[in-house]
């Protein structure tokens, strides 16, 4: 009887030893036996690179070859795979991936910005070299949404997808609702707790979620990754007052990434949305992420889990390493690069739906008549109106929900309303979605 064939270890070089890099080392060490059984061969680290060799990371690096230059490591390390965990769309991160693929090494990355800006070019290079470019950790942390979209849902045309893809924003909106505190106060707390960066722009302005949405849209609709096609709005303008009114009206506010294929093309949008309390995403709270897909054969699927952190993200990195160890190399965006075909982008002005509008007005005679006239002239119809009493001459919030209306018409009406000297701040608008 022949003895079982012994496979050589999969050798891994890691560029970037921050939270996720250290977490990946820990997972590979702690789960070594399990991973060997599941991969059919050992998965071992051979080399690492980071900016600061002396920094304490809570993991033992003594057994690994150290490279000060991650690009040189990508070229010269004894490795089958290079894991890029540096971050950023340009600079060393991009150079590491290009060097690794050029040297005949597979790449695993958690870098959504890199893929949103250069994903197609990197996919083309990987394809030409017969190599894998894996990125499960780039979208939704520990949720296996990339594998689900690329493989598990491969038999389906995806009609639409929407999700909570940024845990920082979800934490801020959840905490605002639970505590009644306003945006800036909760943002400061999120920074102190490490949920938000010192410069939180990418998170709170929706850019991080847009990077992730652009990747999911490519998988869902077989189009090149195109960040410019995503309409982006963040949560800076959401106030405790809006969250209070949303609760009163039976909704919760979430920053959602949404894509839908309509007659005019693919709509791609990141923006705050009011969702009903019975919607799948209404009760996804704190730093959790979730994605909902609608397929023609499978129907609705809901994926929920931790969207960031050392453990969940490292788990996704290692899942990709197991695929490589098994020899499961799949097209980067589900189909060969040549099969990615650009499609029209549906302009947001053409969207028809319901909206929440909050006006802060000076309570004086004739103001409501001005508002009603501007809406009437654009054929925008009010569904409900809520006005909280104030003494005459004081500032009062006026909240309306609108029947289904074209977004362009609503914007024109609100531009006219906002120009009135009775308005003390620009009108605040939030989509209402009935997922």
Q: Which residues are catalytic?
A: 212
Per DSSP, 345 falls in state B
Contacts of 150 (CB under 8 A, 6+ apart): 219, 330, 331, 333, 334
Pairing state between β 288-295 and 158-164: antiparallel
Confirm if 281 and 163 have CB atoms less than 8 A apart: yes
Confirm if 44 and 318 have CB atoms less than 8 A apart: no
List residues bridging with 431 in a β-sheet. Answer: 273, 355
Confirm if 246 and 174 have CB atoms less than 8 A apart: no
Pairing state between β 352-362 and 395-406: antiparallel
- 184 burial via Cβ count (<10 Å: 0-12, 13-18, 19+): exposed
List residues bridging with 251 in a β-sheet. Answer: 276
Structure tokens at 429: 């608008």
CA dihedral 400, 404, 405, 410 (to 10 degrees): 20
- What are the two backbone dihedrals, phi and then psi, of residue 13, each rounded to the nearest 5 degrees? -110, 135
Q: Where are the beta strands (DSSP E) in 282-341?
A: 288-295, 299-306
Structure tokens at 390: 């104030």
List residues bridging with 386 in a β-sheet. Answer: 399
d(CA 324, CA 12): 11
d(CA 161, CA 292): 6
Contacts of 3 (CB under 8 A, 6+ apart): none
Sign of CA dihedral 364, 368, 369, 375: positive
Structure tokens at 111: 């870098």
d(CA 253, CA 222): 30
- How much is the CA Rg of the chain, to the nearest whole Å? 24
């Amino acid at each position: 009887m022949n003895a079982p064939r012994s496979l050589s270890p999969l050798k891994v070089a890691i560029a970037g030893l921050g939270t996720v890099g250290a977490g990946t080392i820990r997972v590979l060490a702690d789960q070594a036996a399990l991973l060997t059984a599941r991969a059919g061969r050992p998965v071992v680290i051979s080399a690492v690179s980071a900016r600061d060799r002396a920094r304490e990371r809570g993991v033992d690096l003594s057994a690994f070859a150290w490279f000060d230059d991650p690009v040189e490591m990508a070229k010269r390390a004894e490795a089958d795979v290079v894991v890029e965990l540096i971050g950023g769309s340009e600079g060393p991160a991009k150079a590491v991936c290009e060097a690794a693929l050029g040297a005949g090494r597979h790449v695993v990355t958690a870098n959504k910005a890199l893929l949103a800006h250069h994903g197609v070019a990197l996919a083309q290079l990987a394809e030409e070299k017969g190599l894998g470019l894996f990125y499960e950790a780039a979208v939704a942390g520990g949720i296996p949404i990339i594998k689900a979209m690329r493989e598990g849902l491969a038999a389906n045309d995806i009609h639409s997808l929407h999700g909570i893809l940024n845990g920082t924003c979800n934490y801020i909106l959840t905490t605002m609702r639970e505590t009644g505190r306003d945006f800036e106060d909760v943002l400061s707390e999120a920074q102190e707790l490490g949920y938000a960066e010192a410069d939180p722009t990418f998170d709170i302005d929706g850019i991080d979620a847009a990077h992730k949405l652009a990747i999911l849209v490519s998988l869902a609709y077989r189009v090149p990754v195109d960040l410019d096609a995503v309409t982006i709005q963040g949560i800076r303008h959401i106030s405790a007052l809006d969250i209070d009114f949303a609760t009163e009206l039976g909704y919760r506010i979430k920053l959602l990434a949404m894509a839908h294929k309509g007659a005019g093309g693919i709509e791609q949008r990141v923006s705050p949305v009011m969702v009903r309390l019975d919607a799948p995403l209404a009760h996804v709270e704190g730093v959790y992420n979730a994605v909902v897909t609608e397929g023609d054969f499978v129907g609705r699927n809901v994926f929920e889990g931790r969207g960031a952190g050392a453990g969940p993200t490292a788990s996704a990195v290692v899942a990709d390493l197991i695929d490589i160890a098994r020899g499961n190399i799949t097209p980067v965006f589900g189909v060969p690069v040549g099969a990615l075909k650009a499609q029209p982008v549906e302009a947001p002005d053409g969207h028809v739906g319901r909206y929440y509008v909050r006006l802060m007005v000076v309570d004086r005679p004739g103001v409501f008549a001005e508002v009603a006239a501007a809406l009437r002239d654009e054929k925008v119809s009010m569904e409900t109106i809520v006005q909280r009493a104030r003494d005459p001459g004081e500032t009062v919030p006026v909240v309306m929900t609108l029947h289904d209306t074209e977004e362009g018409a609503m914007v024109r009406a609100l531009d006219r309303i906002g120009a009135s000297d009775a308005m003390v701040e620009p009108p605040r608008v939030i989509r209402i979605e009935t997922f």
